A and B are shown apart, each in its own frame.
Chain A
Amino acid sequence: GAGVSQSPRYKVAKRGQDVALRCDPISGHVSLFWYQQALGQGPEFLTYFQNEAQLDKSGLPSDRFFAERPEGSVSTLKIQRTQQEDSAVYLCASSLAGSYNSPLHFGNGTRLTVT
């Protein structure tokens, strides 16, 4: 069965470029999350959607980061004017509901390298 799909798998951007990362959650999953994982670290929460509503964006590192989920399905994480410190793996996860009782399904991530 289809899991959470992320694209591209790898992205190399020159500093200052804008990037867009895509996440296709499991069909029917209400909740969608973005996490950022720096090399050698655990994932860090970025933002949370319930359907199309962005309920928590407290983890977004700066106003260069923007996420959307306009139809409550596919989500895009956009990073404007990329900086070297943005280099990380960006993980998307989805679940049927938003609480700890609903298992999270993670995608394989997009590895972003900013040169």
Chain B
Amino acid sequence: GDSVTQMEGPVTLSEEAFLTINCTYTATGYPSLFWYVQYPGEGLQLLLKATKADDKGSNKGFEATYRKETTSFHLEKGSVQVSDSAVYFCALTGRSNDYKLSFGAGTTVTVRA
């Protein structure tokens, strides 16, 4: 079935450092890809998405590009802030059941001032 594998954490960075969280997927056909974020004490929320190959999703300074050839959707941010400390989840929906999200295990990111 469809699945997502993402980089294990935890990841600890200093402010203004570059962040990459790797995500690869296995799916039949062409899934839609997502990054969700969970800030401390809050519910999961959509960070960005891409629905077809070579699409780039972006939001709040984060970017991820849908790479069909490498089945990847790595999350990047050029200069992190303390407020980016959160748990990040890579996820996909398959074409046949496009309402059902399959999540990775999550990566905890802590940014130190």
Chains A and B bind each other: yes
B102 at interface by CB-CB < 8 Å: yes
Query: How big is the A interface, by class?
Result: 20 to 34
Cβ-defined partner of B89 (8 Å) among A33, A42, A109: A42
Q: B105, A40: Cβ atoms under 8 Å? A: yes
Q: A42, B43: Cβ atoms under 8 Å? A: no
- Please name the residue on chain A nearest to B104 by beta carbon: A42
Q: B100, A45: Cβ atoms under 8 Å? A: yes
Known contacts A56-B97, A99-B98: A3-B103 contact under CB 8 Å: no
Contacting residues of chain B (62-113) with chain A, CB-CB under 8 angstroms: 89, 91, 93, 97-106
Tell me the number of A-to-B contacts counted with CB atoms below 8 Å.
Answer: 58
Cβ-defined partner of A48 (8 Å) among B4, B49, B99: B99
Q: A106, B44: Cβ atoms under 8 Å? A: yes
Residues of chain B within 8 A (CB-CB) of A41 are 105-106
What is the bound-complex CA distance between A101 and B46, given in angstroms? 12
A18 at interface by CB-CB < 8 Å: no
What is the bound-complex CA distance between A93 and B98, given in angstroms? 15
Contacting residues of chain B (31-64) with chain A, CB-CB under 8 angstroms: 32, 34, 41-46, 49, 51
- Please name the residue on chain A nearest to B34 by beta carbon: A100
Q: A3, B97: Cβ atoms under 8 Å? A: no
- Please report A residues at the B interface, Cβ cutoff 8 Å: 3-4, 31, 33, 35, 40-45, 48, 56, 91, 93, 98-101, 103-109
Q: Which 6 A-B pairs have the closest CB atoms?
A: A42-B103, A106-B44, A106-B43, A98-B99, A100-B32, A100-B93
| Additional A-B contact list (6), CB under 8 Å, known A41-B106, A98-B98, A104-B101 | A31-B99, A33-B99, A40-B106, A42-B104, A104-B46, A108-B43
